[in-house]
Copies of this chain bind each other. A is one copy, B any other.
Amino acid sequence: MIQRVVLSEQVKEELLDDIMSGRVKPGDRLVESQIAKRMGISQSPVREALRDMVAMRFVEVEPHKGARVRRIDEREVMEIYPVRASLEQLAGTLAAVRAQKHIDELEVCVDRMTKAFKAKDARTMAKWDVQFHRTILEASDNQILIQTWNSLMIEARTYVTLSNLITHKSDIDLAGRHYPIVDAIRAGDPEACGEAMRQHVEEFGEVMKVVFEADQEVTDLVGASSAA
């Protein structure tokens, strides 16, 4: 069998896609042997992929009991924003000057975001939103900071977040909220840039909180009848 990359890597991508697309839902079991059979490979690479996904916090395993897609509850989502805000404030401060050469790139991101938002395309919007933030993170030139930020899996979470947001609050211009950051970079003001980043992320968190609360009412009703 010819193969370009290691199998476990391919398995990981496939499983990740299953999760992101919603084909498997939080709480679902991920049985090594079943996945292996379905993909026509042996158990080992599947097992390895699953362990990797534990590190990414997409999956949780209990010894001798197996893996399942991790449930992300409201509390966890809400806890992320303060942490993101801190990290991105630092990134903004560090990147304000260095990011100037990426101004065009950042504006493209905001532009695409706006378009995707109007089209109610959460996935594309998340992609450009993440791209915007990632650009600034990279410009911070602090590898530890970048890795730490990556470990929060912003990309995946942003997708979910924006899906919710677009569904529930289609009137908020999310893309436009990025302009103060671009302005601060253009001015080359680290303080202001850090502050703008922090505010932006915190605001995002605030909006999400509202969405969650609105969502909860629905979930409560649905959950009450389908649970049991």
Query: Which residues does chain B contribute within 8 Å of A167, judged by CB atoms?
Result: none
**A-side interface residues, number (CB < 8 Å):** 30
A144–B76 contact, CB under 8 A? Answer: yes
Output the least CB separation between A70 and chain B (Å). Answer: 12
- Which residues of the partner chain B approach A226 to less than 8 Å between Cβ atoms? none
Residue in A82, A145, A151 with the greatest tally of chain B CB atoms within 10 Å: A82
Stretch in A83-91, A95-103, A120-128, A182-190 touching the partner: A83-91
A152 and B148: CB pair below 8 A? Answer: yes
Q: Which of B44, B75, B79, B89 contacts A145 (CB 8 A)?
A: B79
Q: Which residues of B contact A44 (CB under 8 A)?
A: 44
The answer for the CA separation of A167 and B63 in the assembled complex, in Å, is 42
Q: How far, in angstroms, from A80 to B75 measured CA to CA in the complex? A: 27
Choice from B48, B76, B90, B152 contacting A86 with Cβ under 8 Å: B90
Could you mark each residue 38-81 of chain A with 1 if its beta carbon is under 8 Å from any beta carbon of chain B, else 0? 00000010011001101100000001100000000001100110
A143: min CB distance to chain B, Å:
6
In the bound complex, what is the Cα–Cα distance between A76 and B148 (angstroms)? Answer: 13
Is A196 located at the chain interface by the 8 A CB criterion? no
Asked if B83 contacts A145 (CB within 8 A), the reply is yes
Is B151 in contact with A148, judged by CB distance below 8 angstroms? yes
- Which residues in B have their C-beta under 8 angstroms from that of A79? 142-145
Q: How far, in whole Å, are A63 and B86 apart by their CA atoms in the complex?
A: 34
Task: Tell me the bound Cα distance from A205 to B152 in angstroms.
Answer: 24
Confirm or deny: A174 has a beta carbon within 8 angstroms of a beta carbon on chain B: no
A6 within 8 A of B: yes
Known pairs A51-B51, A75-B143, A82-B142; list 18 more (Cβ under 8 Å).
A6-B64, A47-B48, A52-B55, A54-B55, A76-B143, A79-B142, A79-B144, A79-B145, A82-B90, A83-B87, A83-B142, A83-B144, A86-B86, A86-B87, A86-B89, A86-B90, A144-B152, A148-B151
Interchain Cβ contacts under 8 Å between A and B, 6 examples: A80-B144, A83-B87, A83-B142, A83-B145, A148-B151, A151-B151
